[in-house]
Amino acid sequence: MKTLVMMAIVQSLNLVIFTWFNRVAGLRILVLRQQLIVYKRTSKKPILKNRDRLFWWLLSKVWRDWTSELIFVKPDTVIRWRKRKLREFWQKKSQGKPGRPAIPRKHINFIRRISSDHPEYGEDRIALELEVKFAIRHASSTVRRYMVKRRTEPIDSQTWRSFLKNQAKGIWCCDFFVQHTVGFRVLFIFIIMEISNRKVIHFNVTDHPTLDWTKQQILNACFERQPKFLIHDNDKKYGQFGYPFRVEYARELVSCRSAFDAWLWEEIGIHGIPIPYGAPNAAAHIERLIGTLRRECLDRVLIWNEEHLRRVLKEFVNWYNHGRVHQSLSGIPDPDPALTEPKPLDGRLVAIPVLNGLHHDYRMAA
């Protein structure tokens, strides 16, 4: 009897203690969850470490109702962690060199030797050569990978570059450029050069260029000889038509874009060639000449008036044609006859000033 009473008392105490502990644990859980909710509301993105991810990944394996207690992240996030870890695991397991395995070095040497001896052979022909003669079978793409890479040379077809090279002796080029005086007066310089030897054929200065004035300059330049072609830009001074216009000369029709070209063909028989719009490189020789005139002469001299500019250009052009060396020619356009005479063995250097010492024409004197 006493034993039964004691057992009943113990069970009652256990029930009270268990109920009290459950109440305390429930309160603790409630307090912790409330604090987690506040923290989640104040922190937009909590920082999780790999061990936190590993904990939830393992917990999802052993606890069926693991999604009910997630607060910081969503269940889909934990599943994504699991998939990513599996993917990384199998990537490490299957690590190796990507792509096709390399072919033997001996085959590579064969391909490089054949492609080096015969640059005209393509990958298909080299692959067939290896298969028929050496019983080595490789795809054409593999052969192309190991072929000797060669630098393709420009095709010498009838392009603008080859036209200038083939017809250089019969091509002149002309252009306008401006120069400001000390009194801010604008002067226009018209210059004509020969492409083959870079010689300045003619130049003149005016403050009001017109089409008639330009025609007269061409006539003055062509007094002794004339070119077959004359290259110029699309300046309005040439009287642009705005559309192609056919002109007949010696029973030959030529398409012209300006009144200047039509006059050249009808009166003199010169084929005027306007460069493409927005392509100054098509007249690179005359542009280089203008740049040289500016850098070596006009940018270093104060021009007072039209006559002063004409005198400065005359002296500089005379030195440019007869005494200045040109790197593109490896010489002088029209060398002074004195430069062709035999040089004295024990001569001395003489510097002839050009434009009061702005440049010098160096000679060897006895």
- For every residue of 96-125, DSSP letters joined together read ---SSPPPPHHHHHHHHHHHHH-TT--HHH
* More confidently predicted of 162 and 64: 162
pLDDT band at residue 103 under the 50/70/90 scheme: confident
Phi, psi of 246 (to 5 degrees): -90, 135
Using alpha carbons only, what angle is made at residue 130 by residues 125 and 135, rounded to the nearest 5 degrees?
A: 140
Q: Lowest mean pLDDT: which of 171-180, 246-255, 265-274, 304-313?
A: 246-255
**Does residue 178 fall inside a structural domain?**
yes
Q: What residues does 186 pair with on adjacent strands?
A: 180
Give residue for tokens 């040379």.
153
More confident residue, 255 or 220: 220
Range of the domain at 75: 49-92
Q: Is 161 contained in some domain?
A: no
Helix (H) or strand (E) holding 220: helix 211-221
Directed axis angle between helix 284-296 and helix 306-322, to 10°? 110
User: Percentage of the chain surpassing pLDDT 70?
Assistant: 75
Judge whether 297 lies within some domain.
Answer: yes
Q: Are 319 and 196 in a shared domain?
A: yes
Least reliable range by pLDDT among 245-249, 269-273, 275-279, 283-287: 245-249
118 vs 204, higher pLDDT: 204
Q: How many helices (H) and strands (E) does the chain have?
A: 11, 9
The mean pLDDT value for 325-347 works out to 80
Q: Are residues 185 and 119 in the same domain?
A: no
Cβ neighbours of residue 58 closer than 8 Å, sequence gap 6 or more: none
Q: What is the mean pLDDT of the chain?
A: 80
Q: Specify whether 37 is located in the same domain as 58.
A: no
* Residue 211 sits in the same domain as residue 135: no
pLDDT band at 172 (very low <50, low <70, confident <90, very high): very high
Identify the top-confidence range among 75-84, 225-234, 253-262: 225-234
Q: Work out the average pLDDT over 144-148.
A: 88
Do residues 188 and 137 both lie within one domain? no
217 within 8 A of 192, measured Cβ to Cβ: yes
Over 50: is that where the pLDDT of 5 sits? no
> Could you tell me if residue 332 is inside a domain?
yes
**What is the C-alpha separation between 75 and 59, in angstroms, rounded?**
12
- Of the candidate ranges 20-29, 114-123, 254-263, 299-308, the one whose mean pLDDT is the lowest: 20-29
Looking from the CA of 75 toward its CB, the CA atoms found within 13 Å total 9
Asked whether residue 156 is assigned to any structural domain, the reply reads: no
Residue 348 is encoded by which pair of tokens?
């001395």
Contact by Cβ (8 Å): 262, 247? yes
Based on the domain organization, do 214 and 295 belong to the same domain? yes
For residues 192 and 242, membership in a common domain is answered with yes
pLDDT > 90 in the chain, percent: 26
Q: Above 70 in pLDDT, residue 71?
A: no
Q: What is the CATH number of the domain that holds 197?
A: 3.30.420.10
Answer yes or no: do 228 and 244 share one domain.
Answer: yes
**Of the ranges 23-32, 190-199, 232-241, 326-335, which one carries the lowest mean pLDDT score?**
23-32
User: What domain count does the chain have?
Assistant: 4
pLDDT at 92: 74
Residues 26 and 133 in one domain: no
Examine the pLDDT at 305 and tell me if it is beyond 80. Answer: yes
pLDDT digits (tens, 9 = 90+) for 279-304: 888 889 999 999 999 999 999 999 99
Pair 1, 75 in one domain: no
| Domain contains 285 | yes
Among candidate residues 113, 146, 179, the one where a domain is terminated: 146
Strand residue runs (E) in 149-277: 171-180, 186-194, 200-206, 229-232, 240-249, 252-258, 271-274
Q: Are residues 293 and 262 in the same domain?
A: yes
> Distance between CA 124 and CA 114 in Å, rounded?
12
On whether both 138 and 236 belong to a single domain, the answer is no
pLDDT score for 4: 46
Q: Is residue 155 part of a domain?
A: no
In a domain, 32, yes or no: yes
89-93, 159-163, 286-290: which has the minimum mean pLDDT? 89-93
The residue-averaged pLDDT of 228-251 equals 82
**Two tokens at 14?**
């256990």
pLDDT tens digits, 22-70 = 666 666 666 556 656 665 666 666 666 677 667 766 767 766 666 666 6
Q: Which of 30, 61, 92 is the last residue of a domain?
A: 92
